[in-house]
Amino acid sequence: MEDKQSTLNPSSPSNSPIQNNEDVKAFIESFFSNLKCKVELDGQILEISNIPNDFEIIYGKKSPYKLTFNPELESEDTELVVRGSSLFKSITEYLERRGQTTSVKIKFDEDFLGAFKRYLNLKNADIHNLEKVENYSPIYKFTFNTNLQYLNEKEQLMNLIYIQEGKVIPFDSEQYEYESLNIKNDPEEAKKAYSLAKDNIRALINPRLQETSKILQEKMKREQARIKAHYSNQKKEYQSTITKTKMQIEQNSHNIPKLQKLQEQLCHLEATITPIIQKLDKEENFFLHDELHKHSLNINTKLVNTTIINCPIFLFNLLIKNKDNSSARQLQLKYNPLTKELSPKISCELCLNPSVSLYLCSSGHLSCINCLRKCGDCSKEICSKCLQKSCDNCAKRLCKKCMHNCPLCHSTICSFHSKPNQLTGISACIRCLQQCYSCSKFFPKKQFKSQDNTCIACSRLQGIKKSLND
């Protein structure tokens, strides 16, 4: 808890926000909602029930409370709440008694699996596993109470400042649900956030201070003008007596006896009136300075509560598999549910353009429909990045699994243009192999010596048979 007090002269206005009825209403609604009270709005009447007993004791009234913020709706059943109302004083006292740092966590009950399925919109794959890790980004909520005192009036301003990552942020804490969270936050970060909040509080209250200062300045000018007029009239009356005597002296300059008498009278008047006028000048200065003091603005700002709102930052590990389980891909994504931001942005890994629909190629790349192809051999969906080579015989584009190199001529071949070498069991291109007409098996061409396109083994077998027959 820290106090900040100053005296503001109306001729040099300081800094704060004009809190209209909507501001007052929003603050009252927020305060009682945070207390877990039942808050219902019936037209322009705010009805509050289930209020904690400790607040009712401070306020001196049992709930429910029916509050209005429109003077025209004030009645026996409703209580008018404006700036400076006793309800504000009770709220301030309640917050000061509870003045402490509390730590809560925003609850997010989202269907993340469904959300990711909609976001990725995978056409030929699905999410098989989703692991979630929670980290926290703290939002520091500082509640400041500012008391303005001037003339015989007191006014209270309640302001909320939210700090996240070293910046003042707009934040509507009422749209979320919370639960307690006991984790250690960085004390240095909290100090920096508080320092930034203090620097911004005067900017927040500045409009209200300027408005009040202007009113006070106008009132002070009127009062000082009245004081000056009053003392000016009094001094003129005394000065007029001396002026009249001087005029009589000029008119009777030839009448020596009367002239002497008037001169004596003038000396007596000056000796008597001069101290009186000096006294009137002192009184006038005193009352002018007194009005300046009366119309000064006293400001007292206190930090009444600090709440650390921990916003979860989710880290997801996703396992994506093709529908035929032929390929898989793991993704790591960071999601901020407060800003609805997902990083990194998912796009086609080939053209880098964001796509409404994505495909998982057999090599695990995410591709858009424009960058997706089919292997000329297995017909599986492959991205253009994975179809870099083609068969040297038919020019069909091949995926890595279907692409083979002939061990004899080192050309790229597809399954149709490759046959197993009967001698080695390794496939080779049909240009380097020849099929035996007798056994239908494939052999390197050097294995054919006869002109009847039979392999050496079949030729020998045919020769043996022929010898036996002879």
Residue 64 clears pLDDT 60, i.e. is over it: yes
pLDDT tens digits, 420-458 = 888 888 888 988 888 888 888 888 888 777 677 888 888
Range scoring the smallest mean pLDDT among 19-23, 119-123, 313-317, 358-362: 19-23
User: What is this structure's pTM?
Assistant: 0.55
User: What residue spans define the domains of the chain?
Assistant: 3-117+126-217, 221-289
**Distance in angstroms (rounded) separating the CA atoms of residues 311 and 136:** 5
Give the pair of three-digit tokens for residue 45: 């009447």
State the average pLDDT over residues 226-243. 87
CA atoms 217, 88, 199, 336: torsion sign: negative
Highest mean pLDDT among 98-112, 278-292, 434-448 belongs to 278-292
pLDDT, position 15: 33
pLDDT tens digits, 162-197 = 999 899 998 888 788 888 877 777 788 888 999 999
pLDDT tens digits, 290-319 = 888 888 888 888 888 888 899 988 899 999
Residue 18 clears pLDDT 60, i.e. is over it: no
Residue 104 clears pLDDT 50, i.e. is over it: yes
HEC readout, 185-201: CCHHHHHHHHHHHHHHH
pLDDT, position 252: 78
State the average pLDDT over residues 198-220. 88
Residue 19 clears pLDDT 90, i.e. is over it: no
pLDDT, position 184: 76
* Residues 139, 164 contacting (CB under 8 angstroms): yes
**Distance in angstroms (rounded) separating the CA atoms of residues 280 and 238:** 11
pLDDT, position 163: 93
Residue 464 clears pLDDT 90, i.e. is over it: no
pLDDT, position 165: 87
pLDDT, position 99: 57
pLDDT tens digits, 331-346 = 888 888 888 888 888 8
Q: Between β-strands 167-168 and 79-80, what pairing exists: parallel, antiparallel or unpaired? A: unpaired
Range scoring the smallest mean pLDDT among 59-73, 96-110, 202-216: 96-110
pLDDT tens digits, 342-364 = 888 888 888 888 777 888 888 88
pLDDT, position 73: 79
Residue-averaged pLDDT of the chain: 82
Highest mean pLDDT among 110-114, 230-234, 320-324 belongs to 230-234
